[in-house]
Amino acid sequence: ILFLLLNPTSFSQCYTWIAGSITYLYPAIIVLTYFYYLYKKKYFKFSKIEYLILLIVNIITPMFVENIGVAFVFGNLLWLFLNRHAEKKELIKFGILTIFSIGALILMLLSPGTAFRTTYELGFYNMSLIGRMFYNIPNLIGYAITRNIIVLIMMTLAIIYTLKKKNIKIYKLILFAIVPIFGIIQNIYLMIPFAIGNDLANKFAKFWGVFNVNNWYFIFYWILFVALFFYAIVYNFKDSKEKSFLIVLTLVAGVALVSMLVAPIWGERVAIFTEIILLIISLKIIKDCFNRKYNKLLISFMGVLLSYFIIMFSLIFIVQKDRDAYIKYQLQDEKVQEIEVYNHFITYVWTRAPWGDYHSNVFKNYYGIDEKISLKIVNHKFSLAFYDALKKLE
């Protein structure tokens, strides 16, 4: 349920967009499964078949994307350190796996694709190291915590639950919760599953001015926030093995995020790995608060959520079907010079229309449209009705 409650932009970039899911979601799941497997092993010892599978994972995983690759290698080194008292033979074997993961990461960082992105973001890389970090701090705060309000809510609940167990006074808990509450209020508009337009979105974001919790100077609060979340892990889990595993996961998630401070941010998908881990750990911390009598309520909520997604994707299907039929109808005219293309207005679809040269060319190839024919993006009747209603509200 929690993973379905990510904002529509994260949802579209990581779930419904094939390239985004392969590049970010799949390796996130692989890394999480990999370390969970290591945690569940009773002994730090590997059979030949295990070693072969782990070797393949260590070669492939760092090659998906930079930040998850760096986090994976860091996790390997950390796991090696935690098991430093294991048999020397097994340490050497795991060390070799780690070396392969480092080699794979270096290979990916030196790849033509990475070099192309470096050239593409030349303006960013011309900035100083400090300049890059200050530029990216608001992005990282937003992508990892505040823009996905479900992550912010769950982390806040985990911290408050822990502080309450420590008998911290109510007024202090309220003071602590002020900034997260502001973050939830400020970013609730991001849960709107419709393309509301950049101008309106910017109005929402700028309305708060200096009180916008994504501003760089709020980094000091968010450092405290993360430190308290880390403390919540240490305080709530008594089993040393489980505690060590969750600390490793949190640190790996942190490295995946912090490593993007000096690199161009490629949208909310860069934080999906971190968000998955934060949600899982938050849920583990507050699980004792749940009562079985609320199971029916959760099942009902899940039913409502599934109904909501059925409606959303049914609308997407209708728009797509109409788009295909309209393009086919226009192509019947041999003298056509311009093709009108319906724009998807529901944001659970990433790249909703053929914007830019690259997407236009791919779009034309897919539909068999001559490259000389221009494309014009137009609104579907559903989106026209939505935008008319939106104008009345303004």
Q: Tell me the per-residue pLDDT of 161-212, one tens digit each, with 9 for 90 and over.
A: 999 999 899 888 999 999 999 989 988 888 888 887 666 666 766 777 778 8
Question: Is 0.85 topped by the overall pTM?
Answer: yes
Whether 45 has a pLDDT exceeding 70, the answer reads: yes
One DSSP character per residue, 192-221 reads: --B---HHHHHHHHHTTGGG-TTSGGGHHH
Distances (CA, A) of 185 to 5, 152, 174, 208: 16, 11, 16, 10
Whether 394 has a pLDDT exceeding 60, the answer reads: no
pLDDT at 27: 94
d(CA 158, CA 352): 36
The CA-CA-CA angle for residues 357, 363, 364, to 5°, reads 90
Whether 347 has a pLDDT exceeding 80, the answer reads: yes
Q: Tell me the per-residue pLDDT of 321-339, one tens digit each, with 9 for 90 and over.
A: 999 999 999 999 888 899 9
Q: Tell me the per-residue pLDDT of 48-100, one tens digit each, with 9 for 90 and over.
A: 999 999 999 999 999 998 889 999 999 999 999 999 888 999 899 999 999 99
d(CA 115, CA 113): 5
Q: Which two three-digit tokens encode residue 31? A: 């890394």
